[in-house]
Amino acid sequence: MKKAKLAAASLAAVMALCAPLAQAQDNPTPQDAPPPTLPKVTESAQWQPLADQGITLSLSYTGEAASNLSGGLRRDAAYAGQVYVGADLDMAKIAGIDGATIHAAVTNRHGENLAAIALGNNTSVQEIYGTQNTHLAILTWEQKLGPLTVEAGRSQANVHFLSSPLYCNFQTNSACGNPTFVFKNSNFTYFPASSWMAHAKLNLTPQVFAHVGMYEVNPDRKRPNDNGFNFSTRNATGVIVPGEVGYGTDFATDRLPRHYILGGWFDRGDYSDPLRDDQGGIAIISGRPAAKRKGRSGIYVRFDQMLTRPDPMSERGLSLFGVAMTNLSGRVEERHFLELGLLQTGTFKGRDKDTLGFVINQQSFSDLALARMNAARVFGGGTPGVRRNQYMMELAYGAQLGPALRISPNLQYILHPDQTGAPFRTRHIDDAFVVGFKFTVDAMSLASAFKR
């Protein structure tokens, strides 16, 4: 109870800290003032040598280091990184096809996962970890048809659904790039492990939209040796269909931009039972393959709301965001997920692009998952009593050091780490205190700086 109160107090403290920052060096704007027009950028911050030919290039590197100063299974440190190479081809300029764009991206991920080697839980504190090879991440054709946008090819569900620019101001994988509940309770496909897909988004009004997609579920795409260049659908077990309806505004249309979204998914792919094996026993004890199931579904609501924007000609201000998710059907790992966060954009004088944020989330395990964890603990010689709820939180400062480099030192705390990484451990894993450091270098912006 004391620790839960501590988490709540931490959130309140960050709110108190961020509120004054939102007002610093700015003059308030009346609530009923029309949306302002932000100053136009007169010179591109990126070097794009093929822009006149309709080709926009991307090249960046993201690195994330993490070390647990206390708690977990043992003290250690880990580093993970990603090279991202991409291109967007404007087919109107290239081939005269209006509204069409080809998207392509390849990643190289490398490094280690601190959660796996030292923490014992199954949610990483380095969101960039996963699919550790050179991988074709995206190869799609996007077509705009008035208010309707359709995209098909090779990509992932989490690129198009359950994402927000606010989430990846943090390093924890519980928030960035998407709330992790959906990956534990469904076959929701994740970047950069691409598979066949299609999605369509209809703007019913400038603010209201409906969005639906369909993504191949294929266990081969998640194998360590898969590089994304195998386009076969052999061994596919079905599809997952996510959908969203929502209301959204931006800085061009609203003084206080906001998004309110209702979404969910129908998963028609195979999945492994979280408790039982293929003969009805407990899989983690018998060592037999998990029983295969089919059919899961879930629902979520999420939002982000800018609360303060003292200067209408700036994006400085405080935003609140949150997520609530639960399953509707199937035998699943978690019963619900709750998240709440604050992000202040623009901190000190002259630091309009810097951010200060705090996020906290709760992962609540299902009865099936608890039965598995307790059975493993008893089998190892302990007594049952695995804790149902894991809480993960992060305090992060993002500093924009010129157009090409962004760094984000962060502090993370894991209250009641789950034992999925050490299933036969006979006692609780100690709460973990993690210090992290995330940075991104945008090579196209860096090249532009050298070019000038």
pLDDT tens digits along 384-429: 999 999 999 999 999 999 999 999 999 999 999 998 999 999 999 9
Rounded mean pLDDT of 202-221? 97
**pLDDT at residue 5, as a whole number:** 44
Residue 326 has pLDDT above 80, yes or no: yes
Lowest mean pLDDT among 24-28, 309-313, 413-417: 24-28
Its domain, for residue 347, covers 145-439
Rounded mean pLDDT of 303-308? 98
Residue 25 has pLDDT above 70, yes or no: no
Q: How confident is the model at residue 42 (pLDDT cuts 50, 70, 90)?
A: very low
Rounded mean pLDDT of 163-190? 95
Rounded mean pLDDT of 35-63? 78
Higher pLDDT, 13 or 180: 180
Residue 6 has pLDDT above 50, yes or no: no
Does residue 451 form part of some domain? Answer: no
Does residue 47 form part of some domain? Answer: no
Number of domains in the chain: 1
pLDDT tens digits along 104-132: 999 999 999 999 999 999 999 999 999 99
**pLDDT at residue 35, as a whole number:** 46
Does residue 83 form part of some domain? Answer: no
Q: How confident is the model at residue 29 (pLDDT cuts 50, 70, 90)?
A: very low
Compute CA 141 distance to the chain's CA centroid, rounded to the nearest angstrom.
Answer: 23
The answer to whether the CB of 180 falls within 8 A of the CB of 174 is: yes
With a threshold of 0.85, does the pTM exceed it? yes
Does residue 402 form part of some domain? Answer: yes
Residue 2 has pLDDT above 90, yes or no: no
Residues recorded for the chain: 452
**pLDDT at residue 452, as a whole number:** 66
**pLDDT at residue 450, as a whole number:** 79
Q: Where in 25-99 does DSSP place strands (E)?
A: 55-72, 77-90
Does residue 11 form part of some domain? Answer: no
Does residue 21 form part of some domain? Answer: no
Residue 337 has pLDDT above 90, yes or no: yes
Whole-number average pLDDT of the chain: 91
Does residue 38 form part of some domain? Answer: no
Does residue 268 form part of some domain? Answer: yes
**pLDDT at residue 208, as a whole number:** 98
Q: Nearest-CA neighbor of 163 among 300, 20, 4?
A: 300
Q: How confident is the model at residue 38 (pLDDT cuts 50, 70, 90)?
A: low
The answer to whether the CB of 232 falls within 8 A of the CB of 219 is: no
**pLDDT at residue 451, as a whole number:** 73
The answer to whether the CB of 274 falls within 8 A of the CB of 372 is: yes
Contacts of 401 (CB under 8 A, 6+ apart): 407
CATH of the domain at 249: 2.40.160
